[in-house]
Structure 1
């Protein structure tokens, strides 16, 4: 079949009965669409999607499963799209609109009234279509029944959940829902006519006899299901495919106009970069004049070229070595060789995702494309606050499409926009159709939180779309060390599916335990734990590159050191804020910048209060996660402008503080913030995170031999605190144990103890990067560590840790997707007993993170006169805007409120407290803000502060200030 469509056309010689079957009805406008017309529309859209939108890698995977290769694959995709709604040719569906049902009755398709079919819920049209298609293949095409389900399941699952065995069994026991008793022959005749015509028009009549011998791999079934879903959604959009009172329309003008109106950007067609690695980096990234690329970057490019096929690459290198740029260069090579049509970069948090997004856009602006007319690349920022990101909002364009409730027994994906729309670059666009929680990841390029990737391992509705979204991309996973046992269970399962799809993956980490590296490699390769041939993956050495191609021997490469080295003097510091203040006063007596990292926000506030008394408010800055969204963005920008690299500080028009300055921060400074301090004080943390914090110490060269730093701070020093050093076994503070667990902290302390005691062979020095891998491997390895007198305490902590790991694995298994089954096994029950919709909200993240559901509010202020306003300090004219309570606020004010989101702390994660908090917040709800046109505020909880930034909620006193963020204390 040519890309122009089938050689025969609809409706062909369909009888009056077959023509009378309806598929779509607009209750408001009165229009309707016959089933044959929707079948034709869906088939035509699927053909266009296959030819112009689907990445080559996905098309190849489907083609490899079929005897006729690429031609078979396209024919099959179009035919499955044409037949997916055949279940609407049943009395269970048709009875829903009485006037259209009467027309069908007049044509001989008798059916009971809607109210007479109380059991019609047993026959959702997807499942009904699966059974009809199976019967047609058996009775009219001579297929064995066991061969039919792997194809018919695509119709069964096109509303997001493939049916389970019990669903199939129950419908089979109620044949009257498929064909009305007494009119079975007429119903069967109409159904067969529609399916016969679909086979003829789609050109698959001769292929059907061959396909009955095929065993479709489950990954192929998933991708075909997803393609049919996308085709159905587009063909169901009445703005693109209008309904007509009499159901008439003409081909091909109808299809051409719809496709032109959709204006869907095609996939990236990567051009494999040629030349030396240094030339590639110079062409893609802003390198300072005369700068040389790092050895790890050069070797990553060489390994990607040397691998027998695109696969998994693990890049381990110190902080600040340019791992992200290396990953993007590797992604170009992998995409060109695999046919991937885009790239997804997954990061631990929204903040790190926001920081990465402009870097991705910069890279995209320099990418070549093999398409003769590249047009636009679709881009997406994949997290729940994307509509507040200025870089992303600046890319939005297009119109809002109307998706009617057309199927009645299934939920449509209705896009509810939360972003301004304005025309911008024709090269990078956040496309109007590719937005929303289910469709956004289908964009060619995306940056988002790791949750978006982990959702691909969660049994949830429309999971096939998430698989299609990643199956056609190169996936980059940053900060791979940052995830616990629960999240790793999902990550490993997703990697197993990515390996089955042949998706190239690049994993980045500065501090990855060797055992974890092996687990990632085995998961991707589809090998069992401890499989032969993977011992080399646990190789020593640092930096380290690991290349894995399923079915081939893994490869490891040890790049040369870059020459960047920081010797960090480590010391114990008693956990007393007055002692800390004295030490800082001494060390900063000549000026300089110190970073104090605390493991809890409560300790941040306590420390900052003490230091302000000693140094003054203007010399102490606070940073943690309990700030309003806009305040957090401003905080990060302020840190970079004051404490970033000399070049970036100058470019931002900022300056490094004089006279001594202290930043007191939580873990928000650990990752993806390129900040540089003269002195580090840190609570004890797991050793990999402690090393990450050390990476913020003397990160950049400031003068020859750091000569631009104060004299007494030219040697990098890290003071470790948050520990009772006087105990027989040093005791981490309670808050740190609650965050990280005692086992990880004691193991960290055990491997650091020789350095803290000055007996390490290098005295009190931790040498970066030389000591990174030895410390991490020792801390996470199986061998005992620490002095003998610590053994009992460490063994007890280990037992508690292992028990928690078991609990996390069991908990994760509850909704964890199974691994891909053998070819030919249908997706029956694929997401059965799942979570429903995967949800990108604070609560939804608990689906793939071992955390309690948290409560998020939007913060406004109540003036003394009772008027509500946005908080007063917001910049760019957003602060202090008056908010009407009898109407929806103006767009600028509403958006400022939406950008003032705040996550309430752990006190509000307990069921009784969170229920009380929600009840109290709902009593303060402004009803006018709940109107459907209030895209920013409808459905949100609003926390109202008084003029002093205070309120009381669920028995807690709440205080918010611009300088310190949120503080919460139990009310007296």
Structure 2
């Protein structure tokens, strides 16, 4: 850090105390470490400036002076910048400043030092009367808090600090716009940059900043004194003239704001920085060192020793004897790219996209200086599965340092792997004594890390605001989309992403509403120069093009992206250049030829056809687009084939049952599964489309968008079972897909209402159009036909169809366009703006925002379109009136007591939390939501709502009776192990409403 300020004269009047006026030329001579010890510069402050307070504990009456909190915050910003911030984040800030690295470091430390200058105002200081009285004794007159009344709310200290800093900079020749861009990190240090409408009131009511009259000049003098002192102490005094012409980019403003927030959070932790008076005096350097060791934040990932050959890399990281062609090509392109940018990998399942993405992430991180990796998945289930795959890769990375990990979704604590990592990282966050106590702490944590194979979930990096800051994170796509949502502490989420390589899986799985957020987030990631790897089975050319355009902000390569039809396909956008490469196609022995036929809709027709197909045995998968259709089909198939021959899988199982179902499916129908000897039918909803590595002899599927139909076809003959599939029944050795859910007898084939409600008629008609030649006899060959079919279905021009279909397709298209327009319009309500040109400040960045963004029911609804859904925890009320977990839950979690007068035991609470279930669409209608909530909230034990009951507090509970039935909002419900939650016809049974005990 440059010390060129030492010995340079200050301008006359810039640092004027209430009782004395000094030259500080010599005061700050003394060496490079001087700023570590606040006493070196605070001792020169006037007693008036030293009387200003910043922190107060009403219980202990301890307090902290403003100058000391400024020094603490600066010290933490310095440590964060030097030891925690990834290299690419530091470079982003440095490139915008004339002094590069030295300027970046000085700026972030200085902003952290002055972030609370707004506390040197009467509007803040009046809050604690005994401390305000001390300041009055020094001449800083102020009204009492009561005298101020409600007007104080218009001068929060962050906003006040920004105004004071802007005025200070403008007195030194800065333009108002330039001053605002630098000062917004002060104004937004509580998570929300000020809005434009916040400033006029404060400018009109300066009594909130400085008490009018005889002390007005003194207030301004103290504010100036503190700002001048920090400018000199932290090395920016002679840099201000150089920065005056800088047009600070918005991404840099975000990073600076976020680091200031973190420095303030750490410096405000009274377990790390004790309030005064302390039990024993300590030097400032000792105070800082103890706190930094106490928080023990992880260093950023710094990849090294990356093998040059693909064979060596994939062997050492993934224990693969030979990488697939796709993986080799992805790695080659990662090394060859002009600079790390956006890579889109399109390939069928089984080609090793995940391993390719992690290998590319390692190369991109090494080249860019990214300090971690974030993997975004569509659902909690897929995120959990990915977390399990991430851990072995982390263990195999070179180096013996601890790897800090996080699983970012609302039910992460239920994941066994993450729970182990949480326990390994559990410790008390407190200042570490430097006289020997720290050694015992390190020894204890060393034991924990050894047990956890060097993987921990850091204690401090937990919670919805900080979890994403861990170096390695797996989460749902919502966690990424929240970066495009106007919400509190958005800067922290951006900082978390700016320092990582971002991997986005299942890119094809998101609708137009979510894509609006995704594209906006990509545009910001591109501005941060964050390397991004996107994975998909296949993308329509327009989607591929839109994603690349969003990331690059330029039009280069659009033609190449739009015209390329090779498959598998890897597209790279790097420094304005576009590379589109077709990866070698799958070997012939990995191709699957599928014969496609239509099947009359109706469960009896389905049962008849399956009797024929399974006459010699075999396993069939039936995929329905709605759970109601799943359950109706299962009912009839059980009558025909027997209950043991039919398995049901859908989304209306509680989490523990759902996990058991998934495990059972993989155990029986996976690559090494113990397949049933006789005929067996799995009837499933869309849960069978992805994530499960399962394999069947014959497929019956409702018509769906063609990319999803192809996903479902990927479950046919997925694995070789003997030479020429000889282990399958003779009739089923050729893969066959039967498409139903359509009225084939109509002049224009018409999808059933349930499917149209889920996907829209337009997508279904387009799918039918491109599948029509295959229904007429031409087989579908996977993976060769994946890209042509998808590109044709989603092309701007309509695919060829019979003349009689045209009117229906035009009607469906018009409705589809209206839907898209509505989705985009709704998404824009709370979506952040595009990156503005350099020099535009973040003021107003999240105006009209949503408040906090979190992984809750309402939080997810902000970045996902559709009616609000409800997740409930399912418990049972016994005949004796006591409550318990569902009786059959495996692992010893069934039938555990849930006392309503006390916090349930941890094991019982965990089992209840793991019995989450999302209510079906019946209960999400706008006209029914209030009634549903009212009825669910009737069971709300007060003992469960305390902070200590964090797993159950605030949850909604669906209480079943002893027969596992109940009534909700006029619907009869039944839950079974085999079929999950069923919504019964109202006349089925007069099921009584389970009422809670009085007072709940």
Secondary structure at the aligned position of 1:503 is classed as coil
Q: Deviations over 1:839-868 (max 9, x none)?
A: 211221111111221122111111111111
Q: Does 2:371 match 1:341?
A: yes
C-alpha contact 1:81 1:232 (8 A) present in aligned 2: yes
Partner Cα separation in structure 2 for residue 429 and residue 532 of structure 1: 42
Greater mean alpha carbon deviation, residues 929-938 or residues 64-73: 929-938
Q: Deviations over 1:879-912 (max 9, x none)?
A: 1011212111111111111111111111111233
C-alpha contact 1:685 1:745 (8 A) present in aligned 2: yes
Q: Structure 1 residues 196, 947: CA separation in 2 closer, same or farther (over 3 Å shift)?
A: same
Q: Deviations over 1:54-79 (max 9, x none)?
A: 11110111111111111111111111
Q: Does 2:729 match 1:707?
A: no
Q: Which residue is 2:753 aligned to?
A: 734
Matches within 5 A, 1:541-940: 541-563=566-588, 564-646=590-672, 649=673, 655-758=674-777, 763=778, 765-785=779-799, 786-940=801-955
Partner Cα separation in structure 2 for residue 81 and residue 805 of structure 1: 44
Structure 1: give runs of 5+ residues left out of the alignment.
404-420, 650-654
Partner Cα separation in structure 1 for residue 710 and residue 416 of structure 2: 32
Q: Deviations over 1:100-155 (max 9, x none)?
A: 1111111211110101112011111110000111112222x333333211110000
Q: Which residue of 107, 110, 121 maps to 2:141?
A: 110
Greater mean alpha carbon deviation, residues 122-131 or residues 203-212: 203-212
Q: Which residue is 1:386 aligned to?
A: 412
Partner Cα separation in structure 1 for residue 205 and residue 69 of structure 2: 27
Q: Which residue is 1:188 aligned to?
A: 220
Q: Which residue is 1:411 aligned to?
A: none
C-alpha contact 1:272 1:332 (8 A) present in aligned 2: no
**TM-score, structure 2 normalization:** 0.91
Q: Which residue is 2:58 aligned to?
A: 27
Q: Does 2:380 match 1:350?
A: yes
C-alpha contact 1:517 1:537 (8 A) present in aligned 2: yes
Greater mean alpha carbon deviation, residues 702-711 or residues 218-227: 702-711
Secondary structure at the aligned position of 1:845 is classed as helix
Q: Which residue is 1:257 aligned to?
A: 290
Count of matched residue positions in the alignment of Structure 1 and Structure 2: 932
CA RMSD, aligned part only?
Answer: 1.8
C-alpha contact 1:855 1:914 (8 A) present in aligned 2: no
Matches within 5 A, 1:72-111: 72-111=103-142
Q: Structure 1 residues 295, 970: CA separation in 2 closer, same or farther (over 3 Å shift)?
A: same
Partner Cα separation in structure 2 for residue 180 and residue 971 of structure 1: 70
Alpha-carbon deviation of 1:971? 3.2
Secondary structure at the aligned position of 2:854 is classed as coil
Q: Which residue of 300, 307, 330 maps to 2:330?
A: 300
Q: Deviations over 1:611-630 (max 9, x none)?
A: 11122222211111111111
Q: Which residue of 215, 223, 239 maps to 2:255?
A: 223
Q: Deviations over 1:492-540 (max 9, x none)?
A: 111111111000111111121011111111111112xxx3542011212
Partner Cα separation in structure 2 for residue 23 and residue 426 of structure 1: 42
Secondary structure at the aligned position of 1:860 is classed as strand
Q: Deviations over 1:147-172 (max 9, x none)?
A: 21111000001111111111012111
C-alpha contact 1:612 1:620 (8 A) present in aligned 2: yes
Alpha-carbon deviation of 1:249? 5.0
C-alpha contact 2:425 2:459 (8 A) present in aligned 1: yes
Matches within 5 A, 1:226-241: 226-241=258-273
Greater mean alpha carbon deviation, residues 188-197 or residues 339-348: 188-197
Q: Which residue of 190, 202, 206 maps to 1:171?
A: 202
Alpha-carbon deviation of 1:423? 9.1
Q: Structure 1 residues 729, 4: CA separation in 2 closer, same or farther (over 3 Å shift)?
A: farther
Matches within 5 A, 1:300-379: 300-369=330-399, 375-379=401-405
Secondary structure at the aligned position of 1:852 is classed as coil
Secondary structure at the aligned position of 1:567 is classed as strand
Partner Cα separation in structure 1 for residue 773 and residue 395 of structure 2: 49
Q: Structure 1 residues 272, 696: CA separation in 2 closer, same or farther (over 3 Å shift)?
A: farther
Q: Structure 1 residues 249, 908: CA separation in 2 closer, same or farther (over 3 Å shift)?
A: farther
Q: Structure 1 residues 272, 745: CA separation in 2 closer, same or farther (over 3 Å shift)?
A: farther
Q: Deviations over 1:4-61 (max 9, x none)?
A: 6736634231111111111111122221111111111111111111111111110111
Q: Which residue is 2:177 aligned to?
A: 146
Partner Cα separation in structure 2 for residue 270 and residue 17 of structure 1: 50
Q: Which residue is 2:501 aligned to?
A: 474
Q: Does 2:75 match 1:51?
A: no
Secondary structure at the aligned position of 2:983 is classed as strand
Secondary structure at the aligned position of 2:211 is classed as coil
Partner Cα separation in structure 2 for residue 555 and residue 204 of structure 1: 47
Q: Deviations over 1:376-396 (max 9, x none)?
A: 221111111111111111101
C-alpha contact 2:571 2:578 (8 A) present in aligned 1: no
Alpha-carbon deviation of 1:921? 2.1
Q: Which residue is 1:412 aligned to?
A: none
C-alpha contact 1:534 1:554 (8 A) present in aligned 2: no
Greater mean alpha carbon deviation, residues 33-42 or residues 264-273: 264-273
Secondary structure at the aligned position of 1:6 is classed as helix
C-alpha contact 1:346 1:478 (8 A) present in aligned 2: yes
Partner Cα separation in structure 1 for residue 712 and residue 585 of structure 2: 24
Partner Cα separation in structure 2 for residue 4 and residue 820 of structure 1: 38
**TM-score, structure 1 normalization:** 0.94
Structure 2: give runs of 5+ residues left out of the alignment.
3-31, 431-447, 988-1000
Partner Cα separation in structure 2 for residue 354 and residue 8 of structure 1: 46
Secondary structure at the aligned position of 2:737 is classed as strand
C-alpha contact 1:377 1:428 (8 A) present in aligned 2: yes
C-alpha contact 2:402 2:449 (8 A) present in aligned 1: no
Partner Cα separation in structure 2 for residue 23 and residue 467 of structure 1: 28
Secondary structure at the aligned position of 2:699 is classed as strand
Q: Structure 1 residues 884, 558: CA separation in 2 closer, same or farther (over 3 Å shift)?
A: closer
Secondary structure at the aligned position of 1:951 is classed as strand
Q: Does 2:271 match 1:244?
A: no
Q: Does 2:319 match 1:286?
A: yes
Alpha-carbon deviation of 1:335? 0.6
Partner Cα separation in structure 2 for residue 112 and residue 179 of structure 1: 11
C-alpha contact 1:526 1:550 (8 A) present in aligned 2: no
Q: Deviations over 1:630-665 (max 9, x none)?
A: 11111111111111112xx4xxxxx22221211111
Q: Which residue is 2:462 aligned to?
A: 435
Alpha-carbon deviation of 1:955? 1.0
Q: Structure 1 residues 269, 5: CA separation in 2 closer, same or farther (over 3 Å shift)?
A: farther
Q: Deviations over 1:527-578 (max 9, x none)?
A: 2xxx354201121211111110132344434434344200011111111111
Partner Cα separation in structure 2 for residue 772 and residue 549 of structure 1: 27
